[in-house]
Copies of this chain bind each other. A is one copy, B any other.
Amino acid sequence: MKQMIVIVQEQDYSELATLLIRNRIHATKFMTEGLYLNRRNITLLICAEDDRVEEILGYIRQSCTEREEVCEVWEYNGHMMVQARKTLRIGGATIFMSNVDEIIKC
C-alpha cells in the first residue's frame, strides 16, 4: 500500500476529482496553502494499492498542467519580506509517496 499526498492547484482540481471519482479511487481533500506562492491549493490524501499507483499518476498527469502565470510571491529584499510580481511556471502537481504499513477500517 502506498500513501500518496498530492498537492494540486485549485484550477486543476475539479478535473482530477472527476477522474478519481469515476474510477472509484477514494481520496480525502484538504484545503491548503502554498507558502511561497502564498495562495490556496488543494492537498489530496490517497491510499493506493501498489498496482493502481501508475494509473493514479496517469490521472494526475492528465488533469494537472503546468502553465506560465504572473504570480505574487514573497521575497526577502535584504531588509524585509516584500511581495514581488514574477512570471513563473506553475501548476502541475507534487506527489509525496511513502509506504503505509496497514490500513484499518473499523
Q: Which residues of A contact B (CB under 8 A)?
A: 2-3, 5, 7, 17-18, 20-22, 24, 26-36, 41, 43-45, 47, 57, 60-61, 64, 74-76, 81, 92-106
Q: How far is the CB of A9 from chain B (nearest CB, A)?
A: 12
B21-A35 in contact (CB<8A): yes
- Cross-interface CB contact of A34 among B28, B41, B64, cutoff 8 Å: B28
Q: How far is the CA of A41 from the CA of B35 in the complex (A)?
A: 16
Residue of B nearest to A16 (CB): B35
B93-A57 in contact (CB<8A): no
**Dominant SS among interface residues on chain A:** strand
Q: How far is the CA of A11 from the CA of B1 in the complex (A)?
A: 28
**What would be 8 A-B contacts, judged by CB atoms less than 8 Å apart?**
A18-B81, A20-B35, A21-B74, A31-B31, A57-B106, A93-B105, A95-B105, A99-B101
Q: How far is the CA of A10 from the CA of B76 in the complex (A)?
A: 22
